[in-house]
């Protein structure tokens, strides 16, 4: 198998990403949350990063992440069923994790369906730890498991800086 090319998504990728989300992630949920219009809007948002894994000019996987002030949230990750367990998901997460480290993020957070032990094992193997269950997270009908990976811990300087600004009253 050729190594996947991990690249930023283009507008022309929105439909493929949306269909993969519907078929691989949103199965059994109400409606179509990540339709092509939403994917396109996300691509235009300055705090969202969407990457795809391409093999032989075919999109085989994608990930959507939102960057906050100190945390990256991995919103979606999917790999075509015929390409799973070949390192594509890992490559996508590692690409985003490196971006989060470069941006100075403290941690990465994500949710996964509680009835998906394969995904929980996958994320645990990448260093994510279970945080808590979130009942009704998916369409109000399905529980999510929140997981988190710490990228950096608070230093004394960092805590002092945060504390000093909390005590400023304007």
Could you tell me the CATH number of the domain that includes residue 126?
3.40.630.30
pLDDT-based confidence at residue 76 (cuts at 50, 70, 90): very high
Q: Calculate mean pLDDT across residues 17-41.
A: 92
pTM of the model: 0.86
* CA 81 to chain CA mean position, Å: 18
pLDDT at position 170, please? 44
Q: Collect all residues with Cβ–Cβ distance below 8 Å to 55 and sequence separation of at least 6.
A: 1, 2, 4, 5, 83
Q: Indicate the pairing of strand 107-113 with strand 129-138.
A: unpaired
Q: Collect all residues with Cβ–Cβ distance below 8 Å to 35 and sequence separation of at least 6.
A: 18, 22
- Looking at residue 4, the DSSP 8-state letter turns out to be P
pLDDT in tens, 47-67: 999 999 999 999 999 999 999
What total number of domains does the chain contain?
1
pLDDT-based confidence at residue 158 (cuts at 50, 70, 90): low
Domain with 91, as residue range(s), is 5-166
Cα–Cα distance measured from residue 122 to residue 61, given in angstroms and rounded to the nearest whole number: 15
> Which is more confidently placed, 107 or 155?
107
Q: What phi, psi does 7 have (nearest 5°)?
A: -145, 165
> Which is more confidently placed, 1 or 116?
116
Counts of helices then strands in the chain (DSSP H, E): 5, 7
């Amino acid at each position: 198998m050729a190594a996947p090319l991990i690249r930023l998504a283009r507008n022309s990728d929105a439909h493929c990403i949306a269909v993969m989300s519907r078929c691989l992630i949103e199965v059994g949920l109400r409606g179509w949350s990540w339709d092509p219009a939403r994917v396109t809007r996300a691509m235009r948002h300055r705090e969202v990063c969407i990457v795809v894994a391409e093999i032989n000019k075919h999109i085989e996987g994608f990930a959507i992440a939102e960057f906050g002030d100190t945390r990256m949230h991995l919103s979606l990750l999917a790999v075509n069923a015929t390409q799973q367990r070949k390192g594509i998901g890992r490559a996508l997460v590692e690409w985003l994790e490196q971006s989060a480290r470069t941006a100075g993020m403290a941690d990465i957070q994500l949710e996964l369906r509680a009835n998906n032990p394969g995904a929980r094992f996958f994320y645990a193997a990448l260093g994510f730890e279970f945080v808590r269950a979130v009942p009704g997270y998916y369409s109000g009908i399905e529980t999510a498991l929140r997981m988190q990976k710490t990228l950096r811990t608070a230093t004394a300087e960092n805590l002092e800086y945060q504390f000093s600004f909390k005590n400023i009253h304007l």
